[in-house]
């Protein structure tokens, strides 16, 4: 019997190390590719308008309108709006608009009325908005309603 040196592919430890290394590189490469693919998409930017009215029963109601300015229709996504006001009843401060396709511009506006019981014109009402779609990068921001309009210098954007 002769003691021959084994080839690299006959050594179990070497083959196992190579398989583990290739698996880790594949996972890392896939994640990197997905991240780069997501960054190439145009952001799905939602714009909004609002107005405060008094309902017939004397309660203030915040009328919100949302539309997007993505260059084309958004597909398979959702618009999530959270009104952070302590007087809002459970479930009325959270609105989710799910869509298969949503065309851009104000012609395709989504509207919601949010009752604000006991609202004082000096109270700040943060409105958090998040727009996600399959063919666009997610976009989120918070805007503050104060009195009868939006506070222009209190907008925080996050992607």
Residues 65 and 122 occupy one common structural domain = yes
- Could you give the CA distance from residue 78 to residue 92 in angstroms, rounded to a whole number? 17
31 and 51, same domain (yes or no): no
Task: Please report whether residue 1 resides in a domain.
Answer: no
Distances (CA, A) of 56 to 10, 42, 59, 111: 84, 43, 7, 19
Q: Is the pLDDT of residue 1 over 50?
A: no
Q: Is 19 in the same domain as 88?
A: no
Do residues 17 and 50 share a domain? no
In a domain, 2, yes or no: no
Q: Are 144 and 125 a contacting pair, CB within 8 Å?
A: yes
The whole-chain average pLDDT of the chain stands at: 88
Question: What pLDDT is stored for residue 58 in this prediction?
Answer: 85
Asked if residue 59 belongs to a domain, the reply is yes
**pLDDT of residue 13 exceeding 90:** no
- Answer yes or no: do 114 and 152 share one domain: yes
80 and 26, same domain (yes or no): no
Residue 25 domain boundaries: 8-39
Pair (30, 66) in one structural domain: no
41-67 confidence digits (pLDDT tens): 888 889 999 999 988 888 899 999 999
Same domain, 28 and 96: no
- Is residue 103 situated within a structural domain? yes
**pLDDT at res. 61:** 92
- Residues 53 and 107 reside in one and the same domain: yes
pLDDT for 131 equals 95
Statement to judge: residues 35 and 51 lie in one domain:
no
What burial letters (b/e) apply to 7-33, b meaning 16+ CB within 10 Å? eeeeeeeeeeeeeeeeeeeeeeeeeee
Q: Does residue 95 register a pLDDT over 50? A: yes
- Name the helix (H) or strand (E) containing 63: strand 60-68
Q: Are residues 35 and 79 in the same domain?
A: no
**What is the three-state SS of 85-153?**
CCCCCCCCCEEEEEEEEECCCHHHCEEEEEECCCCCCCCEEEEEEEEEECCEEEEEEEEEEECCEEEEE
Q: How confident is the model at residue 133 (pLDDT cuts 50, 70, 90)?
A: very high
Residues 6+ apart with CB under 8 A from 4: none
Structurally, the chain folds into a number of domains equal to 2
Share of the chain above pLDDT 90, in %: 55
Give the per-residue pLDDT at 136: 92
Structure tokens at 64: 């919100």
Mean pLDDT in residue range 61-84? 94
- 20 pLDDT more than 90: yes
- Whether 147 shows a pLDDT value over 60: the answer reads yes
């Amino acid at each position: 019997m002769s003691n021959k040196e084994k080839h690299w592919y006959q050594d179990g430890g070497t083959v196992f190390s190579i398989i583990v290394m290739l698996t880790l590189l594949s996972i890392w490469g896939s994640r990197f590719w997905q991240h780069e693919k997501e960054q190439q998409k145009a952001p799905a930017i939602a714009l909004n308008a609002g107005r405060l009215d008094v309902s017939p029963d004397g309660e203030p109601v915040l009328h919100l309108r949302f539309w997007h300015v993505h260059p084309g229709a958004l597909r398979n996504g959702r618009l999530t709006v959270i009104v952070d006001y302590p007087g809002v009843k459970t479930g009325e401060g959270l609105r989710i608009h799910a869509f298969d396709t949503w065309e851009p511009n104000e012609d395709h506006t989504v509207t919601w009325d949010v009752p604000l019981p006991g609202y004082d014109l000096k109270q700040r009402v943060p409105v958090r908005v998040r727009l996600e779609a399959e063919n666009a990068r997610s976009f989120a921001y918070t805007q503050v309603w104060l009195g009868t309009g939006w506070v222009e210098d209190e907008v925080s954007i996050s992607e």
